[in-house]
Amino acid sequence: MAHASDGRSMEFKLPDLGEGLTEAEIVRWLVEVGDVVAVDQPVVEVETAKAMVEVPCPYGGVVTARFGEEGTELPVGAPLVTVAVGEAAADGPARERGAGDGAAPTPAAEPPAAEPKPEGSGNVLVGYGTSEAPARRRRVRPDRPAATGASGRANGRVRAVEPVGGAVGTAEPVDGPVPVISPLVRRLARQHDLDLRELTGSGPDGLILRADVEYALRAAAAQGGRTADREAGAGGAPAGAAGPAASPSDGTRVPLKGVRGAVADKLSRSRREIPDATCWVDADATELMRARTAMNASGGPKISLVALLARICTAALARFPELNSTVDTEAREIVRLDGVHLGFAAQTDRGLVVPVVRDAHARDAESLTAEFARLTEAARAGRLTPGELTGGTFTLNNYGVFGVDGSTPIINHPEAAMLGVGRIVPKPWVHEGELAVRQVVQLSLTFDHRVCDGGTAGGFLRYVADCVEQPAVLLRTL
């Protein structure tokens, strides 16, 4: 979203990033006030409930104002930056920079009414373009308040607590980017309402590390304890008096937002709407493991185990299409889907995400292996796009990587089923009439009871187990 602010400056707003997202958190500014930006140059990195996204600005010129500090959550449509374009980029960077810092524009700065309007790039994210909107005045950003001691706040964060002697031991806040790289450090600071600009980093070039944040939190806790002791002594309370009982407000509160909030909303909706049931079976995976070893010994790209399991899933869904469906509650209809877009659960530093392999039914084991590897790497790096996290029709959940045997997972709404795979471990097993040590895995299927009965679900799971035990069964459908 971009709108004319005064005929020369363009106000660029946070666009709709797709998939119904309504807000995003500023992770890192990529430009400073006064920087010259090109058309479609990324100006800010934001984190939505689904992915990390670099947002490009559709105008070129001089950045005159930024709206929101790193760590701030903005709704879609809120201003991000203003950019002086055309002549303003050449003759007024200093004037525009003053407007971004809170100075009101003077009447002399008003542009001629007949000045041509700048053209946008034509580039579109989702839900916004670069066409002009009716002209209006630029937003004026108020001056940043100074620290006010123990109770002071600036930019929504608590300032440093004043020590006993009155001297402030932390550095003065400094304008500009905060020298932090790790999102975990930012999250830790946000959870404890700590202003990172007041810390001096111990890393290279002043980089703020997790140890710096933890040290500041311990120092603040110790200072708070001494203050509480002084107040208790002034009030005349007995030294041995028992304090008030713990209340529900005690402890640390973690906001349900971002990835964690999106997961919470989706799983809660699944529990409310889907009458799910789970069945499971143990299977002898020895022959599947041998088949994979033989495949990888023949040369060429290595085949992953999850790719073989995915190939088994697609073959089973072809035989039991009821499980590759969704329920249209408004129309009271079951919608059976033609293609299989296979989601798989991936645990990352940002939380649980479910990337989707498009057209999994049309891929062979090599193609599935490559796509799983690509999406997993993108998930860990936080580069998955909203399109790569949505549109799944069935989910494969390999919770065996966590060292557990079984689970009753929650269905990924609005899908109808999820196959769970436990760890593969040596166990005693009766094989060809004799007791032997075999590689055994537990398989579970959680399904929506509205789309099928237990017979269909049991048939699907039994077919999957048969393919795991005898991979040659798959040859019938190849």
DSSP per residue over 396-417, as a string? Answer: EE-GGGGT-S---PPP-TT-SE
pLDDT at 276: 96
Distance CA 44, CA 436 (A): 59
Q: Contact 30/20 with Cβ under 8 angstroms?
A: no
> Where does residue 210 rank: exposed (0-12), middle (13-18), buried (19+ CB within 10 A)?
middle
Q: What is the pTM of this model?
A: 0.55
- Among candidate residues 276, 448, 449, 466, the one labeled active-site is 449
Q: What is the pLDDT of residue 386?
A: 83
Rg (CA), the chain: 29
From first to last of its 478 residues, the chain has per-residue pLDDT tens of 555 544 578 889 888 776 556 778 888 899 999 999 988 889 998 887 667 788 888 888 999 999 988 888 888 888 989 998 864 444 444 444 444 444 444 444 444 444 444 445 444 444 344 444 434 334 444 444 443 433 343 333 333 444 444 444 444 444 556 676 566 677 778 888 888 878 888 877 777 887 788 888 888 777 765 555 555 555 544 544 454 555 566 788 888 887 778 888 888 999 999 999 999 999 999 999 999 999 999 888 999 999 999 999 999 999 999 999 999 999 999 999 999 999 998 888 877 889 999 999 999 999 999 999 999 999 988 888 888 989 999 999 999 988 999 988 899 999 999 999 999 999 999 999 999 999 999 999 999 999 999 999 999 999 999 999 999 888 776 6
- DSSP state letter for 104: P
| Rounded Cα distance, 323 and 64, in Å | 54
How far is CA 45 from each of CA 181, 217, 264, 366, rounded to the nearest angstrom?
12, 27, 24, 34
Question: Residue 77 CB: number of other CB atoms within 10 A?
Answer: 13
Predicted pLDDT at 228: 54
Kindly give the pairing relationship between strand 356-357 and strand 342-344.
antiparallel
Residue 408's closest CA among 393, 420, 398, 400? 420
pLDDT for the residue 156: 37
| Separation in Å, CA 161 to CA 167, 168, 200 | 10, 8, 16
Task: Supply the pLDDT for residue 129.
Answer: 40
Give SS3 for 109. helix
| Residue 4 CB neighbour total at 10 angstroms | 20
Confirm whether 431 is a catalytic residue.
Answer: no
Identity of the amino acid at 389: L
> How remote is the C-alpha of 69 from its chain's centroid?
19
Q: Which residue has the tokens 């937002």?
A: 257
Secondary structure E strands in 78-202? 79-84, 153-154, 157-158
Q: Helix, strand, coil proportions of the chain in percent (round to 5)?
A: 30, 25, 45
Q: At 258, which helix (H) or strand (E)? A: helix 258-273
Bridge partner list, 13: 79
- Does 453 participate in catalysis according to the annotation? yes
- Identify the pLDDT of residue 100: 44
Q: How far apart are CA 381 and CA 51, in angstroms?
A: 10
Collapse the DSSP code of 52 into the 3-class scheme (helix H, G, I; strand E, B; otherwise coil) and give the result. Answer: strand
| Contact of 100 with 33, CB cutoff 8 Å | yes
Say if residues 189 and 216 touch (Cβ distance below 8 Å).
no
Q: Which of 91, 265, 328, 453 is catalytic?
A: 453
pLDDT at 164 (0 to 100): 41
pLDDT computed for residue 474 by the predictor:
82
- pLDDT recorded at residue 90: 47
* Residue 109 confidence (pLDDT): 43
Q: How far apart, in whole angstroms, are the C-alpha atoms of residue 170 and residue 83?
A: 34
Residue 443, classed as helix, strand or coil, is strand
Convert 227-244 to b/e letters by CB count within 10 Å (16 or more is b). Answer: eeeeeeeeeeeeeeeeee
Q: What is the pLDDT of residue 138?
A: 41
Q: What confidence score (pLDDT) does residue 141 get?
A: 43
Nearest to 309 by CA among 356, 383, 267, 365: 365
